[in-house]
Amino acid sequence: MPQEQMRYHCVKTSPLAIPAKEEKQTRRKPLVQEWRHETYEMMWHAMKENMVSSIAEGIERVERGGYAFLMESTSIEYVVRRRCQLKHIGGLLDSKGYGIATPHGSPYRNILSSTLLRLQERGTLRKFKDRWWKVRDPLNECPTKEAGEPRTDAASELGLRTVGGVFVVLLAGLGLACLIAFAELFCKARLGRS
């Protein structure tokens, strides 16, 4: 489907669409509009009208077809794991972390920070995510290749079958280069004797 025919938006209250509201932040334009790149400017121009009011509305439009929905990556991952007909395409537009808010001067701030860092260093947070996200409701589970492995679409699979042709062309080119090199050596050796 040509890009001009594909409609896409984000939630109108997402950071992609609204300016920063806190006084300390200097951003006065929507994030997508603020990025000075031709691609993002074209995206903003195409999506600034008729944005969706909720994630559920965006997902519903995607399921009807001809529509792409820009949303926060963790939410995308969660939805795609539960709705097998949806697919996450492309990389991140922006990268942010999560935090736990505490009152200013709270005695729990340092304890929470050090505990979260330890859990992250030990891989415990990753294990929790895998347990809670990958182990799904058996009645609503997408097909998998092997137990515990998320499904992969044929379009995104890079195996010998999908890229084998590239190796055939490379090997043919290498063989041809070797033949030419041997022919040159043979001709030079023959000319050198005469």
Q: What is the pLDDT of residues 148-193, one digit of tens each?
A: 444 444 445 556 667 778 888 999 999 999 999 999 999 998 888 7
The structure tokens listed for 139 are: 């009645």
Lowest mean pLDDT among 45-59, 107-121, 140-154: 140-154
Lowest mean pLDDT among 44-48, 102-106, 123-127, 190-194: 44-48
Q: What pLDDT shows up at residue 18? A: 53
What percent of the chain is modeled with pLDDT above 90?
19
Task: With a cut of 50, say whether residue 84 has pLDDT above it.
Answer: yes
Among residues 52, 63, 75, 65, which one has the least CA distance to residue 5?
65
CA distance 22 to 55: 24
Q: What pLDDT shows up at residue 69? A: 77
